[in-house]
């Protein structure tokens, strides 16, 4: 029911969010680093949050605290906030700390890992959100994968996140009529990070826990490519550009729908592998996960990190 309720609420709430965004002037205007020709409203993240909040609140409301804070930070950015990188990192780390409390996580090392994962995934989904339906589609597949390996309130969160993103995709599919905005990408990344933490900590088996890492392999690989490419080009890590993997594929002649479909398909394949190895012996499952991650990382880094792909304007 969490999946169905969240889907229905997202389908209904998203066009309302688009109208509100236009009236408030919260639109993404075309620009040098943009792929759209006309202004597109933000606030898709608000619709996603509203859709998943009802099922999650009924089961484990504390989980909405870090997700809601991520939404608020993203809204500040969407409204033209000018936070310094250091200030933003501090606030993102604060969201990670609230995730530690909400899950909850015990022990210094586990808490530190949780904060790092929240900050990392929050930014990874934000970087992935560059084409219509890309971040929402990949994240919906990832959330569906987590629903197979977590239980209780966390399974409700996974199902609600998947349902809300699928409902949002009705309006965000190419050509998108509304965007997630930073608010949406931040909250999605935070939710996925919490699900990953729980999968690694509470999985029924070491096999299932290791496979869960593959559920977020696509956004992780895209972020790794962005970092390596910018380092090789000796460019600022935090400066935007048009050299992401999806941008490079589009430059090679792929239409945007095909690029989005390829990313979603790749993440779906990785999720399937992660679920399939759950029944294997722990050592074999960990080995398969490591090999798959190395193959994905090597392919992405070798194929998409040449300095010449830097296109900041």
Tens digit of each residue's pLDDT (9 = 90 or more) over 110-143: 999 999 999 999 999 999 998 999 999 999 999 9
Q: What is the mean pLDDT of residues 1-30?
A: 92
Reply yes or no: is the peptide bond before residue 205 cis, omega within 30 of 0. Answer: no
What's the mean pLDDT when you consider all of the chain? 88
Three-state SS sequence of the chain = CHHHHHHHHHHHHHHHHHHHHHHHCCEECCCCCCCCCCCEECCHHHHHHHHHHHHHHHHCHHHHHHHHHHHHHHHHHHCCCCCCHHHHHHHHHHHHHHHHHHCCCCCHHHHHHHHHHHHHHHHHHHHHCCCCCHHHHHHHHHHHHHCCCCCHHHHHHHHHHHHHHHHHHHHHCCCCCCCCHHHHHHHHHHHHHHHHHHHHHHCCCHHHHHHHHHHHHHHHHHHHHHHHHHHHCCCCCCCCCCCCHHHHHHHCCCCHHHHHHHHHHHHHHHHHHHHHHHHCCHHHHHHHHHHHHHHHHHHHHHHHCCHHHCCCC
Distance CA 127, CA 139 (A): 13
What tens digit of pLDDT does each residue of 213-256 get?
999 999 998 888 888 877 777 776 666 666 778 888 888 888 88
The confidence score (pLDDT) of residue 249 equals 86
Map out the domains of the chain as residue ranges: 2-309
Which residue, 73, 130, 129, 126, is CA-closest to 96? 73
Distance CA 177, CA 173 (A): 8
The confidence score (pLDDT) of residue 302 equals 67
Cβ atoms of residues 99 and 118 within 8 Å: yes
pLDDT at 174 over 60: yes
Distances (CA, A) of 285 to 205, 295, 299: 10, 15, 21
What tens digit of pLDDT does each residue of 71-125 get?
999 999 888 777 888 899 999 999 999 999 999 999 999 999 999 999 999 999 9
């Amino acid at each position: 029911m969490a999946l169905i309720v969240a889907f229905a609420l997202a389908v209904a709430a998203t066009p309302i969010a688009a109208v509100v965004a236009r009236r408030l002037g919260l639109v993404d205007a075309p620009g040098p680093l943009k792929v759209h020709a006309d202004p597109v409203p933000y606030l898709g993240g608000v619709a996603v949050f509203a859709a998943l909040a009802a099922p999650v609140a009924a089961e484990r409301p504390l989980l909405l605290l870090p997700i809601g804070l991520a939404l608020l930070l993203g809204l500040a950015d969407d409204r033209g906030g000018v936070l310094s990188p250091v200030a933003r990192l501090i606030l993102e780390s604060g969201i990670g700390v609230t995730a530690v409390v909400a899950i909850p996580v015990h022990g210094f090392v586990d808490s530190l890992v949780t904060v790092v994962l929240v900050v990392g995934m929050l930014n990874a989904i934000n970087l992935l959100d560059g084409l219509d339906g890309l971040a929402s589609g990949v994240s919906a597949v990832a959330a569906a994968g987590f629903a197979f390996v977590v239980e209780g309130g966390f399974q409700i969160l996974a199902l609600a996140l998947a349902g809300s993103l699928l409902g949002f995709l009705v309006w965000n599919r190419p050509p998108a009529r509304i965007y997630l905005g930073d608010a949406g990408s931040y909250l999605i990344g935070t939710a996925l990070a919490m699900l990953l933490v729980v999968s690694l900590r509470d999985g029924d088996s070491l096999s299932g826990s290791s496979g869960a890492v593959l559920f977020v392999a696509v956004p992780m690989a895209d972020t790794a490519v962005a970092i390596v490419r910018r380092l090789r080009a000796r460019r600022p890590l935090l400066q935007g550009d048009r050299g992401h993997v999806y941008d490079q594929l589009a430059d090679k002649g792929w239409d945007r729908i095909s690029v989005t479909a390829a990313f979603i398909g790749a993440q779906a394949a990785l999720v399937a592998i992660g679920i399939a190895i759950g029944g294997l012996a722990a050592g074999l499952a960990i080995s398969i996960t490591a090999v798959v991650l190395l193959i994905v990382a090597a392919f992405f880094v070798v194929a998409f990190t040449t300095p010449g792909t830097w296109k900041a304007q």
